[in-house]
């Protein structure tokens, strides 16, 4: 069952293909070996691991993969329901219950994207600095703060901005889809 609107179909293409390709291929290229190249002063394995875990409580690839899966759930539930009930694509736009249920699933996607956007800001910020100041007092070392070099910080900053942009585009598409469905239901737009 395809999404009932043109915007919904574009969202599926954009969300499913472009975002997953970007994350899977480019995300691995940018973040793949980050932990191996993250080095602190003194450059000792235990200090590097301790500081890297402090710098990245969750890796961006894992976070964005979770975001993709979680945001897909409301649409998947709707489509599973529609498939089990043998609902046709045109019925979604014509019957109030189905339209309401579909709009609710799109609205839930917006909420989940907004929460993911906020979490991304909290976890990663908008810029990756070249130097990370690590607090190593828990390792019972003589020094309390050590400097760590973040590899390819500019590439990571660009990638962060791209992921923020994808989230914003997805939210805009979801809002536009709700608007399109509402206009069709009110008779302002003719059926496809």
Along the 192 residues of the chain, how does pLDDT read in single tens digits?
Answer: 667 777 887 877 777 778 888 887 888 778 878 888 889 888 788 888 999 999 998 888 889 889 888 988 998 898 898 888 888 877 887 888 888 899 999 999 999 999 999 999 999 999 999 999 998 877 766 668 889 999 889 999 998 999 899 899 989 999 999 998 888 877 776 655
pTM of the model: 0.83
**Secondary structure (H, E, C), 118-187:** HHHHHHHCCCCCCEEEEECHHHCCCCCEEEEECCCHHHHHHHHHHHHHHHHHHHHHHHHHHHHHHHHHHC
**Please, which residues have CB within 8 angstroms of residue 119's CB and are 6 or more apart in sequence?**
63
CATH topology of domain 6-182: de novo design (two linked rop proteins) (1.20.1440)
Q: Return the percent helix, strand and coil in the chain, to nearest 5.
A: 70, 5, 20
């Amino acid at each position: 069952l395809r999404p009932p609107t043109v915007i919904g179909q574009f969202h599926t293409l954009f969300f499913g293909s472009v975002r997953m390709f970007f994350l899977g291929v480019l995300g691995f290229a940018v973040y793949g070996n980050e932990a191996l190249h993250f080095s602190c002063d003194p450059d000792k394995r235990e200090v590097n691991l301790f500081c890297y875990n402090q710098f990245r409580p969750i890796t961006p690839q894992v976070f964005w993969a979770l975001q993709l899966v979680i945001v897909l759930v409301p649409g998947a539930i709707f489509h599973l329901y529609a498939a089990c009930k043998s609902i046709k694509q045109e019925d979604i736009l014509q019957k109030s219950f189905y339209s309401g249920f579909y709009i609710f699933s799109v609205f839930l996607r917006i909420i989940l994207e907004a929460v993911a956007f906020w979490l991304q800001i909290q976890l990663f910020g908008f810029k990756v600095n070249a130097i990370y100041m690590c607090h190593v007092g828990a390792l019972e070392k003589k020094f309390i703060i050590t400097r760590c070099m973040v590899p390819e910080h500019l590439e990571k900053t660009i990638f962060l901005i791209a992921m923020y942009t994808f989230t914003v585009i997805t939210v805009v598409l979801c809002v536009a889809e709700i608007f399109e469905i509402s206009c069709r239901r009110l008779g302002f737009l003719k059926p496809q």
